[in-house]
Amino acid sequence: MRVLTFGLSLLLLAGASQTVLAADPDNGETLAKRWCTGCHVVSGDQSKGTDIAPSFSSIATRPNFDEDKLATFLLEPHPKMSNMALSREETKNLASFIALQKRP
């Protein structure tokens, strides 16, 4: 019985750490389309954005682009979008979605 309980908690642990570690770009896309399209061009199928904010593909294409740094950056609201609070997981998902917008 003890062995079984131990095995089960190992399984649970493995499952839990996976959801924490793996970023989900599909969820990032949903978030980006909900929160960011007002100012940024977030993906190739969005034809119009504004000039005030850089497109996600231009951000991802920068030579010093770093997905982890971006996720951390997104934890802080940026100037013109003060009331948006994203969770750790949401910023990771957004960053991994933005990384996928990199131009070939």
Q: In the complex, which residues of this chain contact ligand HEC (CB under 6 A)?
A: 32, 35-36, 38-40, 52-54, 59, 70, 73-74, 78-81, 94
Residue 89 beta carbon to ligand HEC: minimum distance, rounded to whole angstroms: 13
Q: Which residue has the tokens 């969005």?
A: 46
Name which of 16 and 53 has its Cβ closer to ligand HEC: 53
Q: How far is CA 94 from CA 1, 3, 5, 58, 98, in A?
A: 43, 40, 36, 15, 6
Residue 22 beta carbon to ligand HEC: minimum distance, rounded to whole angstroms: 19
- In terms of C-beta density within 10 A (0-12 exposed, 13-18 middle, 19 or more buried), how is residue 63 classed? exposed
Name which of 78 and 88 has its Cβ closer to ligand HEC: 78
Residue 1 beta carbon to ligand HEC: minimum distance, rounded to whole angstroms: 48
Return the HEC string of 20-71: HHCCCHHHHHHHHHHHCCCCCCCCCCCCCCCCCCCCHHHHHHCCCCCHHHHH
Name which of 4 and 95 has its Cβ closer to ligand HEC: 95
Residue 7 beta carbon to ligand HEC: minimum distance, rounded to whole angstroms: 40
